């Protein structure tokens, strides 16, 4: 994920997503929806979303996982089945699959939600690829939106939710050095022109 810190980088930028990084997103999701986690790693993001199930937000929060996948799948399907934070609304399907091999999804799927690799050579094509299929929530560094390299992709960005600094390494005293955001990317017809505004939500938790 390219997270800046004084620690040695982990292989394949593997940094599981903590619950604290997911909490700001929950308020911007429908109370019932179906999603795919295409860069699932060890399943931490799926577990984090599932931990909010039943929370009242104008209705009982009910996320439904269609499936989780990753090019490297370091966990077994049973780790989802046996986790006490999972129930019947969380699919037991986990696949070893490159995100770029996803070509289509079932009609009832509402979103992709993932904490992707932050390497720009992967991140930028991933933005275009996933958002052309379904609206896509991505967690990565907030500074990206201020850079020239972001310009070709901002036309697809419709919402940004501030998260702040994230403690990526469990039991560490330190957070990462990058402020983070959730970005919502959606398919935008080429003839529609550049996106003139993006809904931005600052930190509240």
Distance CA 168, CA 3 (A): 9
Q: Which residues contact 19 (CB under 8 A, 6 or more apart)?
A: 48, 51
Distance CA 182, CA 132 (A): 18
CB 191 within 8 A of CB 162: no
Which pLDDT score is estimated for 79? 47
Q: What are the C-alpha distances in Å from 44 to residues 6, 57, 79, 87, 148?
A: 23, 23, 11, 15, 32
Which pLDDT score is estimated for 161? 97
Annotated domain spans of the chain: 11-201
How many Cα atoms occupy the beta-carbon half-sphere of 121 within 13 Å?
0
CB 114 within 8 A of CB 137: yes
Q: What is the pLDDT along the chain (205 residues), one digit of tens a residue?
A: 444 555 555 454 566 899 999 999 999 999 999 999 999 988 899 989 988 887 756 668 889 999 999 988 765 544 444 444 444 345 557 888 999 999 999 999 999 999 999 999 999 999 999 999 999 999 999 999 999 999 999 999 999 999 999 887 776 666 667 899 999 999 987 555 555 689 999 976 5
Q: Class assignment of domain 11-201?
A: alpha beta
Which pLDDT score is estimated for 173? 65
């Amino acid at each position: 994920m390219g997270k800046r810190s004084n620690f040695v980088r982990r292989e394949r930028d593997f940094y599981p997503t903590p619950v604290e990084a997911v909490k700001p997103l929950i308020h911007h999701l429908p109370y019932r929806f179906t999603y795919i986690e295409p860069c699932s790693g060890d399943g931490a993001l799926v577990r984090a979303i599932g931990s909010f199930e039943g929370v009242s937000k104008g209705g009982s929060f009910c996320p439904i996982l269609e499936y989780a996948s990753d090019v490297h799948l370091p966990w077994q399907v049973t780790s989802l089945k046996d986790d006490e934070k999972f129930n019947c609304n969380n699919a037991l399907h986990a696949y070893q699959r490159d995100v770029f091999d996803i070509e289509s999804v079932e009609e009832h799927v509402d979103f992709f939600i993932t904490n992707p690799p932050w390497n720009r050579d992967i991140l930028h094509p991933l933005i275009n690829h996933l958002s052309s299929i379904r609206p896509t929530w991505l967690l990565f560094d907030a500074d990206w939106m201020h850079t020239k390299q972001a310009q070709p992709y901002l036309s697809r960005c419709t919402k940004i939710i501030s998260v702040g600094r994230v403690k990526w390494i469990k039991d560490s005293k330190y957070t990462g050095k990058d402020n983070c955001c959730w970005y919502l990317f959606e398919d935008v017809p080429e003839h529609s022109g550049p996106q003139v505004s993006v809904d931005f939500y600052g930190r509240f938790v």
